[in-house]
Structures are given as C-alpha cells and as structure tokens.
Structure 1
C-alpha cells in the first residue's frame, strides 16, 4: 500500500524537538508514511550545532542531500566544506565515520536517507563506544576483556 502525505502534515509524534527549542530538529518522514526498508529524515541543524556524534555503521548505508545552508562534513577524519546542493554517500564500514557541523550563521537543512539494517553496529570512535542499535546495547571499547579467546580447546 502506498502512503502519500505532505511535509507540512507530518504529525509531531514523528519529530524530534518539533518546536525546535534545542539545536537539532528532525522530521521522521519515512516513519510517518510507513517506509519499512529505508528511513527518510529531514534534519535542521542550528548554527554552532552538530547533526549527530561522529560515527560509522557496520551495515547501514546512508545518503545525504544538503537542502539549504552550509557547514562542515567531518568524514573519515577530514573536514570538508559542504553547501546547498551537495550530495554525500556514506556506505557501511567501520572506517567511514561521518558528522555534519553547522559552523555558519544559518540553519543547515539535510535530507537524510538510509537503509534499516538488523544488528547494525554503530561505532563512535571519539568516545570508544559501540552501539547495537536495534538491541539497545552499548559497549565501551576500553572495557574489553584481556586474554579472552574464541578457541574452545585452549
């Protein structure tokens, strides 16, 4: 079944910070209209704010379209200037960290589309943290067990 709506008719329950009181507002368009295999969001990032923490996905692929504004894309350890009209792909992979930073004086508006992947592991290298999103499990890399082995006959 196809679902059709207008961006102006998306209910507030499909928004993070619908009144835009904090530094980031997100509209979960895909969820609102019933997308199952992909998510589709619009992120509004205020000046001086970040879209997300710097991270990468093990399975989830993402695509971004800069709808308006400008800022920095932190990707693979580099900072690249981005502006209205730019398109960015973020394929899955441990070494593909990414984050948008609004270093301008205007709102940065980003169309964010990605796949929904079971057991996707999100790595946050700045904090040495792993998150298994659909299970809600968070692990600190610094708490690793020394001397552990998967070998059953040791």
Structure 2
C-alpha cells in the first residue's frame, strides 16, 4: 500500500461496484492509501438512486462535498436541494439523520469524509433499526423491553 496515489490508479479491491452495474459506486480512497482515523470515499449515485438508507450516527463526524450533479439532501426530516460546490457538515454526536437522493438525470458525485469511531451506533429511523457497527449487531427498536430499569435495588 502506498500513501500516495492517483484516483485513476486505485485498485478495484478498494471499490464497491467498480464497474458501476448497480445504482451506486464507491471508491474507498482513504483505505487505498492507508488512512486510519478517517475514511475518504468518492460516491457516484445514478439518477433515481439514493446514497444510503436514511440514518444517523452516535459518534461519527462527517463532511460532504458535492463534486458534480445535483439532487436532494434529506436531513432531519427536511429535503434540501444540493448541487455542485455545496459542502455539508454533520458534527459528531448530534443525531443528524441524513441521506442523498439523486432526483436529476445526471450522476451525483459526492466526496464523503468522516471519522472512524469505535462503538458508533447507527440508527435507521425509517425502519426502526439500530446497528452497532463494531459488533455487527442489529436491533429492532420496536422490540423493546417494557418495565425494565437499571436500578439494582428494585
């Protein structure tokens, strides 16, 4: 692994859907050059597709730069129009729900940078799901325990 490269020389092993057969292609730029505390991805989202399921992180901080195209940023229940040059900050621990939607006829290209956080919990509110990433555990919020307390003397 080299700590310097060119975007055009990144091996396919550092790509999700390198031939862009599905609705989204991601290049794991940071992984390919050895980033450890942050990830740096380049996402290509086809017309009519979404980037990821609508979600929020408990600890992870993220930054997005729209490199080309236009679409919608679904954030905390709002739909915000985005286009080339827009930058978006998602500070850590703020429960900011987010998802990119390509409602245009061109590919939406986004630079996605974020921190790698131990014990980050990802919440998917549309599905009432919680995902503990490091442990690869998935829970349905609707299957909660009633009348449970953390009080040891009850």
Question: Smaller-chain TM-score range?
Answer: over 0.9
RMSD across aligned positions (CA): 1.2
CA distance in structure 1 between the aligned counterparts of 2:43 and 2:7, rounded to whole angstroms: 13
| Gap regions ≥5 residues in structure 2 | none
TM-score of the superposition, structure 1-length normalised? Answer: 0.97
User: Residues 57 and 120 of structure 1 are in contact (CA less than 8 Å); yes or no, is this contact kept in structure 2?
Assistant: yes
User: Residues 71 and 108 of structure 1 are in contact (CA less than 8 Å); yes or no, is this contact kept in structure 2?
Assistant: yes
Change (3 A) 1:131 1:53: same
Cα distance per residue 1:80-127 (max 9 Å; x no partner): 000000000011235310000000000000000000000000010010
* Residue aligned with 2:134, SS: helix
Alignment of 1:1-154 (within 5 A): 3-93=3-93, 95-154=95-154
* Residue aligned with 2:43, SS: strand
Q: Structure 1 residue runs of 4+, over 2 Å off?
A: 92-95
TM-score of the superposition, structure 2-length normalised? Answer: 0.97
* Residue aligned with 2:96, SS: coil
| Gap regions ≥5 residues in structure 1 | none
CA distance in structure 1 between the aligned counterparts of 2:110 and 2:95, rounded to whole angstroms: 22
User: Residues 31 and 40 of structure 1 are in contact (CA less than 8 Å); yes or no, is this contact kept in structure 2?
Assistant: yes
